[in-house]
Amino acid sequence: MTSEDVREQPASRPTERPVRPVAEPGGVGGLLRRAATAASPTPRRPGARRGLLGQPLVRHLVLAIGGLAILYVITQSVSSFDNFQIAQIGAYVVAVAGLSVLTGLNGQISLGHGAVMGIGAYAAALLMLHTGFPLLVVLLLAPAAAGLAGLVIGLGAARLRGPYLAGATLALAVGLPGVPYRWPGVLGGGTGLTITQPTPPSFLGSNFDPQEWIAWICALAAVITLVILANLVRSRFGRSFRMVRDDEIVASLAGINVAGTQVLAFVVSAACAGLGGALLALSTGTVNPLGFPLSLSIALVAAAVVGGLGSLTGAIWGGILIVYLPQWATSVSNDFGFSKAVSSNLAFGFYGLVLIVVMLTFPGGIQGGVRRLWNALRALVARRSSPAAAGLHGNGPGQGAASAAADPAPHEMGEQ
């Protein structure tokens, strides 16, 4: 064989091996991960939105101002009890949003966020009873205390996965409500602590409803928290959360500190839960161990899943669910004359029923279902308007391509 023959022979190619898809994890962790992936918005094409409203911070602020205006109108036109419920919804929205970030964006399961809400509530009550700090300082220090507890929990949780992590946080939810009974002199024991609710400022008038003022405080805190979390999700920290959730090995190869990212997610989520607990203490005026049982932790997880894991808008649906579903269960129990034992557990049955129905109908939760319906409606309108546009402008050789370019692709219509 000559050298010319060697040069003419084609180079041998390595045998291509088929890439096997990564198996989806099973169990509770796999279910929550699939729900989070379904609820997470599809990334938009770069440059799809331009101008001032294309900036995430500006867009979030505009939505926040619009939401506050709607809440102002609602609080002005409802009763004092309805304002009390709005305040509770605001508190639960903050806690569910933090849990949605932890589980939906970072893939960590927590069944102890009800206890973390208790940490924030007791911290706020102790600060209001024993210090002269303004309300704003109290609402900043209470989530800081819960965030510190979240740091301790997160350091241990970073070594656990799946059901082991869920079991550890479940132990926290079971054990922490018993702490006030060990120190009744400081934490009030079973009776808890009673705090003085904030009064409206004098410029609002002497006849202004105090419950409406508390509803304003809770609604404003919830909107500010959602804006902060929305910008956090859009930042490099949010991208690190999602990368760690999807594949820890790939994230570590990309230079991301996996354990540090998981601890950071736990701190952020715990701080949100602590703020939610502080707002709940303001709305009720009392803090006691019975207000933060294990059932509250389960309700927070169910609300996050039903609303839409990884979706901050879904946290609003979840907060509404936590407040109104027990009342609906009580109404049904009274109408049908159920016994006391059945009535006390009927709300859990409703949670399970709603969770099953939503997961079967919309795997991405309520917000994922709303997004799918909206996208389907827009696609239907676009298809119906396309023949009319083709009739007006003709059906030349380039019209099909122009029409396809004008219609937005499905991935361009995702929602934050």
For the stretch 202-236, pLDDT in tens is 888 888 889 999 999 999 999 999 999 999 988 89
Beta bridge partners of 193: 287
Residue scoring higher pLDDT (355 or 344): 355
**Measured between alpha carbons, how far is 38 from 85 in angstroms, rounded to an integer?**
30
pLDDT at 35 over 80: no
pLDDT at 90 over 70: yes
302-323 tens-digit pLDDT: 999 999 888 888 899 999 999 9
Q: What is the pLDDT of residue 396?
A: 47
Lowest-confidence pick of 214-218, 266-270, 384-388? 384-388
Q: What is the pLDDT of residue 388?
A: 53
Under the banding of pLDDT at 50, 70 and 90, the label for residue 263 is very high
SS3 176: helix
Q: Mean pLDDT score of the chain, rounded to an integer?
A: 80
Greatest mean pLDDT among 104-113, 190-199, 261-270 lies in: 261-270
pLDDT at 12 over 90: no
Q: What is the pLDDT of residue 207?
A: 86
Q: What is the pLDDT of residue 53?
A: 61
Task: Count other C-beta atoms under 10 Å from residue 401's C-beta.
Answer: 9
Both structure tokens of 229: 């979390």
Under the banding of pLDDT at 50, 70 and 90, the label for residue 115 is very high
Backbone angles phi, psi at 408, to 5 degrees: -70, 140
pLDDT at 44 over 70: no
Residue scoring higher pLDDT (125 or 401): 125
Under the banding of pLDDT at 50, 70 and 90, the label for residue 18 is very low
**Measured between alpha carbons, how far is 382 from 73 in angstroms, rounded to an integer?**
34
Do 214 and 198 contact (CB within 8 A), yes or no? Answer: yes
Q: Tell if the pTM clears 0.85, that is, is over it.
A: no
Under the banding of pLDDT at 50, 70 and 90, the label for residue 402 is very low
Greatest mean pLDDT among 261-270, 343-352, 400-409 lies in: 261-270
DSSP conformation class of 343? H
Under the banding of pLDDT at 50, 70 and 90, the label for residue 387 is low
Q: What is the pLDDT of residue 43?
A: 47
Under the banding of pLDDT at 50, 70 and 90, the label for residue 32 is low
Backbone angles phi, psi at 89, to 5 degrees: -60, -45
Under the banding of pLDDT at 50, 70 and 90, the label for residue 411 is very low
Do 151 and 209 contact (CB within 8 A), yes or no? Answer: no
pLDDT at 265 over 70: yes
**Measured between alpha carbons, how far is 327 from 330 in angstroms, rounded to an integer?**
5
- Residues contacting 43, CB < 8 A, separation 6+: 411, 414
Q: Which of 197, 4, 220, 208 is nearest to 93 (CA)?
A: 220
- Residues contacting 56, CB < 8 A, separation 6+: 230, 231, 234, 416
**Average pLDDT of 191-196?**
90
Q: What is the pLDDT of residue 369?
A: 85
DSSP conformation class of 190? T
45-80 tens-digit pLDDT: 444 455 566 677 788 888 889 989 999 999 989 999
Q: What is the pLDDT of residue 280?
A: 95
Lowest-confidence pick of 7-11, 65-69, 164-168, 248-252? 7-11
